[in-house]
Chain A
Amino acid sequence: MPKYWNEKIECMSRQEMISLQNERLVAQVKHVWDNVPYYRKKMEEKGVTPDDIKSIDDLHKLPFLSKADLRDAYPYGLLAKPLADCVRIQSTSGTTGKRVVAFYTQHDIDLWEDCCARAIVAAGGTNEDVCQVCYGYGLFTGGPGLNGGSHKVGCLTLPMSSGNTERQIQFMRDLGSTILCCTPSYAAYIGETLHKMGYGPDDIKLKAGIFGAEPWTEEMRREIERLLGIKAYDIYGLTETSGPGVSFECEEQTGMHINEDHFIAEIIDPDTGEVLPEGSKGELVFTSITKEAFPLLRYRTRDICVLTREKCSCGRTLVKMSKPMGRTDDMLIIRGVNVFPSQIESVLLKMSNASPNYQIVVDRVNNTDTFEIRVEMTDEMFSDTIKSVEAVEDKISADMLSMLGIKAKIRLVEPNSIPRSEGKAVRVIDKRKLV
């Protein structure tokens, strides 16, 4: 059984990797300079030209890109290839300004799927495996990414998407699925449902799971492993950089190897932007050095983590990142979906009669995120019948769903009941203990 999908790259010496990265970075900066006026302008403002970038040691000279740049440049401003050369769009949920729309050439799809193939092989996958993909398909990168990786490895692929859990388990049993790909909370839910249906790990053939798109703890890992009788592997990625597979876990389960031949990782001080030495905790920044259509240079992920080059027992030399330990912004990840409190505020502000006083309460019950939005009642929203108050709740609920792409429980609360601290309402209560 092959241990690596691409041994040459995954186990490359540091020196070889650096020269590969140098060569790719230099070419990528030229490509972006020539094709992305938006970034070229940023470089010019910083007084940097492609001639200044001779190796990865010069990376720090390049300007950062952030979510604000994606918003300013939406939708085509960061595109580096003619649309005729692009074959795919993937996107995050959320509205304009918060939504990320990424473009892919066939080359970009191939490298993305290749990264996912590395993750599947690291989890023990071969062409003998049956890989059940229960990430959402569509604009969300989870389904398409793992689906493509599974094809590359040659697994028999079940493109299930999420939902209909009993049917998931039926397929799992009937077709002998050996690898499961989904969010960790859905994996836990599948595990619980399996037991509720009177089955256990011995009734299924699963051996491994590749879980990502939301934060999860070591305790949750052990729970999923126990419920499903598998080894659970973490995977990381974001739409901005392609999708899942930017980094992946090996059997050591002590962090995720970053596919450095495609993505150069840096850790910076989120306040000063200064690059921090290896082992420091800070904001993760990625530079795509091989993508053609949407090549983001020095993209600030807002995820806080640590990088380590300590030797890994799996034999891979790729740098490892810890699980993200938090965010530098107020983004929440709820059931795999990115939620910003400002989106909730904008829904309420658009309703002429609603109070902008709200509170988000997120918890994890039975390994599934619960998401409640408390909204203070106003005299304008209130009337004497239950059905009219419930109609207000339904209206807010529908507007939130269309804004966030995720269902929230709306709870109307009494005026002034949301606690204020120094005059400012406490907007987010996240009871999930994830770090």
Chain B
Amino acid sequence: MSVKQISIFMENRPGRISAVTKLLGEGGIDIRAMALADTTDFGILRIIVDDEEKCVKLLSEAGYSARATAVVAVGFDDKPGALAAVMQVLYENNISVEYMYSFISKEAGKAYIMLRVDDNDAAAAALEEKGFTLLNSGDLFGNK
């Protein structure tokens, strides 16, 4: 079970994030989570959106390099030690994390993280076995 994340290549210069978020906003794309990784010269904006096909099309037409990648969305109780427990499962199963970011839940008492690991299926299986909630796009945009 996984969620499609859109990654967008951006030069590290003023106005780029503003331009891309404006484009998506005007295109009616609902952004549920986002994270930015950057180096001195460039950045990669990662977003979880309600309609990834439309989003990629919009970005490509506007001339951006964008790509969809599967990530694992994990939900757990919002309490101390819960995140560590998720990490422990991955570690025990020899799964490396490329990157991860958290996002806000609409459900009280729950926290979510997006995980990009070297083996999504293995991570999903291991986490589910330990009783963590995995989400799909529908869960994230359940109100639509």
Contacts and interface: CB of A to CB of B under 8 A. Distances in A.
A416 B37 contact: no
20 contacts: A377-B65, A378-B65, A379-B60, A379-B67, A382-B66, A383-B67, A383-B69, A384-B67, A385-B44, A386-B37, A386-B44, A387-B98, A389-B9, A389-B42, A390-B39, A411-B41, A412-B9, A413-B11, A414-B9, A414-B63
Contacts of A412: 9, 41-42
Nearest to B67: A382
The 5 closest A-B pairs by CB, nearest first: A384-B7, A382-B65, A377-B65, A384-B69, A416-B63
A384 B11 contact: no
B74 to A, nearest CB: 18
Main SS of the interface on chain A? loop
Contacts of A37: none
Interface string B103-139: 0000000000000100000000000000000000000
Q: Which of under 10, 10 to 19, 20 to 34, or 35 or more describes the interface residues of B? A: 20 to 34
A384 B65 contact: no
B116 A384 contact: yes
A315 interface: no
Interface string A398-417: 00000000000001111111
Nearest to B43: A386
A336 B46 CA distance: 42
Q: Which of A382, A384, A385, A416 has the most CB of B within 10 A?
A: A384
B123 to A, nearest CB: 16
Nearest to B71: A384
B89 interface: no
Contact of B65 (A386, A390, A414): A414
A414 B7 contact: no
Q: Which of B5, B9, B67 has the most CB of A within 10 A?
A: B9
Contacts of A384: 5, 7, 44, 46, 67, 69, 98, 116
Interface of A: 377-379, 381-387, 389-390, 411-417
B91 interface: no
B1 interface: no
Contacts of B66: 379, 382
A376 to B, nearest CB: 9
Nearest to A372: B41
A386 B44 CA distance: 7
Contact of A379 (B37, B42, B65): B65
Nearest to B69: A384
A414 B16 CA distance: 10
A390 B65 CA distance: 15
Contacts of A385: 44, 98-99, 116
Contacts of A389: 9, 42, 44
Contacts of A414: 9-11, 16, 63-65
Contacts of B99: 385
Interface string B30-60: 0000000101011010100000000000001
Given A413-B11, A415-B64, 19 more contacts: A377-B65, A379-B60, A382-B7, A382-B65, A383-B7, A383-B69, A384-B5, A384-B67, A384-B69, A384-B98, A384-B116, A385-B44, A386-B37, A389-B44, A412-B42, A414-B9, A414-B16, A414-B65, A415-B65
Contacts of A377: 9, 65
Contacts of B65: 377-379, 381-382, 414-415
A302 B17 CA distance: 46
Contacts of B39: 386, 390
B132 to A, nearest CB: 23
B37 A382 contact: no
Nearest to A386: B37
A385 B5 CA distance: 12
Nearest to B16: A414
Contacts of A386: 37, 39, 44
B67 A415 contact: no
Contacts of B7: 382-384
Contacts of A416: 63
B51 to A, nearest CB: 19
A383 B37 CA distance: 13
